[in-house]
């Protein structure tokens, strides 16, 4: 089964099929691209979820806070996504991908999985964890990936919560 576990030596290990690894790697790369080129994406609702306003009831304070923090926050998210992408360097002939993740890598993985799920959630217009009925095949695929990434994230949390 795919996901994370802790080995007897205490290392956190992730195991994925090649296709699963490619999906995560591609989505992490998309997050990085979205954040790096956010001027082009403008009012993308995913950016609102990834870089939310600190003051929802005061536009001036929100703009001022954003001016001082947005670039650093986006840069950290891009770096975290980069850790995930690099750790999933998939050789084409392998059937399974196993990775070992150190403590800083675990944090990057957790944050990037959260960012991917936030982005998918904004695309799916999810506001809570209530079950949804997909409207078409693309939405059904996105919901499946959203749920699966939640499972992967849960396995990582369990692996470090020992």
pLDDT per residue as tens digits for the range 137-147: 888 999 999 99
Q: For 64-96, how does the pLDDT look when each residue is reduced to its tens digit (9 = 90+)?
A: 877 787 788 899 999 999 999 999 986 566 788
Residue 156's Cβ-count burial label (10 Å; 0-12, 13-18, 19+) is buried
Q: Percentage of residues in the chain with pLDDT exceeding 70? A: 90
**pLDDT greater than 90 at residue 23:** yes
User: What's the pLDDT score for residue 21?
Assistant: 94
Q: Percentage of residues in the chain with pLDDT exceeding 90? A: 52
The model's pTM is 0.88
Question: What are the φ/ψ torsions at residue 12 (nearest 5 degrees)?
Answer: -95, 125
Which residue, chain included where needed, has tokens 């802790």?
6
Considering Cα of 5, then 2, then 30, then 136, what sign does the dihedral take? negative
Task: Give the neighbor-by-neighbor strand order of the sheet with 96-101.
Answer: 3-6, 12-17, 96-101
Question: What are the φ/ψ torsions at residue 53 (nearest 5 degrees)?
Answer: -70, 140
Six token digits for residue 44 = 């993308």
The mean pLDDT value for 6-35 works out to 93
Distance in angstroms (rounded) separating the CA atoms of residues 102 and 108: 10
**Which string of DSSP letters, residue by residue, matches 64-77?**
HHHHHHHHHHHHHH
**pLDDT greater than 70 at residue 127:** no
In angstroms, what is the C-alpha Rg of the chain?
A: 17
Q: Which of 11-20, 58-67, 77-86, 92-101 has the weakest average pLDDT?
A: 58-67
Which has the closest alpha carbon to 119: 51, 52, 49, 53? 49
Domain-by-domain residue ranges, the chain?
3-160
């Amino acid at each position: 089964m795919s996901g994370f576990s802790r080995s007897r030596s205490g290392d956190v290990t992730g195991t994925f099929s090649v296709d699963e690894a490619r999906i995560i790697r591609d989505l992490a790369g998309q997050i990085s691209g979205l954040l790096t080129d956010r001027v082009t994406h403008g009012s993308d609702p995913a950016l609102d979820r990834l870089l939310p306003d600190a003051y929802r009831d005061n536009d001036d304070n929100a703009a001022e806070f954003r001016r001082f923090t947005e670039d650093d926050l986006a840069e950290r998210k891009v770096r975290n996504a980069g850790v995930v992408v690099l750790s999933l360097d998939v050789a084409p002939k392998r059937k399974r991908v196993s990775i070992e993740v150190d403590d800083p890598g675990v944090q990057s993985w957790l944050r990037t999985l959260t960012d991917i799920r936030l982005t998918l959630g904004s695309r799916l217009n999810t506001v809570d964890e209530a079950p949804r009925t997909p409207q078409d095949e693309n939405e059904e695929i996105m919901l499946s990936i959203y749920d699966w990434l939640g499972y992967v994230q849960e396995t990582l949390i369990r692996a470090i919560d020992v």
